[in-house]
Amino acid sequence: MRTLARWCCRHWIATIVGWLAIVVVLVGIHGAVGSAYTDKFTLPNTDSFDALHLLQHANPKTSGETDQLVISVDHGKVTDPVVRARAEKLFGQVAKTKYVAEVISPYTPRTAKQIAPGGRVAFADVVFTNAANNQKVTASDASHFDKVITSASGNGVHFNAEGNIAEAGNPQNSDSSLFIGFIAAAIVLFLAFGSFTAMLLPLLAAGVSLGAGTAV
């Protein structure tokens, strides 16, 4: 390792170019092969696994992933009749999408706490079937799920999806969060090291590692 480290220091340009080339190749392969969301939870002899196993036997239809369908308004409240009618229509559309078991509306006495105190934001739970765990939810399936929800937005009413499957269908959201995280890390590292070069090196190494790991 000492020999490799010495060579990398002496040939730092070639090292950086090599790192970036590897990431580009891996990302290219990832794009060609495609990706799929899967959540196979297998940790036997743990409380969480036992609880999931019990749920799968007691109510297998609704023992899969749970995402949130978020409703927000620029003006008025989510309980306004027009907004509620649009939301409930969307709930019906989402319930018909692949792998969805049910949509738990916030417009019932039992689920009223899913509406924020100010009435401007609410969420509905989208419960997926156990098949969403045991089978691969393709990127196309996840993207369709996300688009069904977001395409219903308009006229001051916004619908968004949050959760693992929604994130798989709309990776741009996670990319923006990642960018904000890198900016925050850069500020902290610059204050700690007092040098732009010293700040850049760990960020570059982290970026290469994250990019390669995600692609793999």
What residues form DSSP beta bridges with 137? Answer: 37
**Nearest CA-CA partner of 146 in 101, 107, 105, 90:** 90
3-state secondary structure of 75: coil
Is it the case that residue 49 has pLDDT exceeding 80?
no
Cα–Cα distance for residue pair 52/164, rounded to 1 Å: 17
89-98 pLDDT, tens digit each: 999 999 999 8
| pLDDT computed for residue 110 by the predictor | 93
What residues form DSSP beta bridges with 127? Answer: 66, 102
Cα–Cα distance for residue pair 200/95, rounded to 1 Å: 47
DSSP state of 103: E
Rounded mean pLDDT of 124-132? 79
161-182 pLDDT, tens digit each: 988 888 776 666 556 677 788 8
Residue type, 180: I
Cα–Cα distance for residue pair 56/48, rounded to 1 Å: 12
Whether the pTM exceeds 0.85: the reply is no
C-beta of residue 77 within 8 angstroms of C-beta of residue 88: no
Exposure string (b/e) for 1-38, b if CB count within 10 Å is 16 or more? eeeeeeeeeeeeeeeeeebeeebeebeeeeeeeeeebe
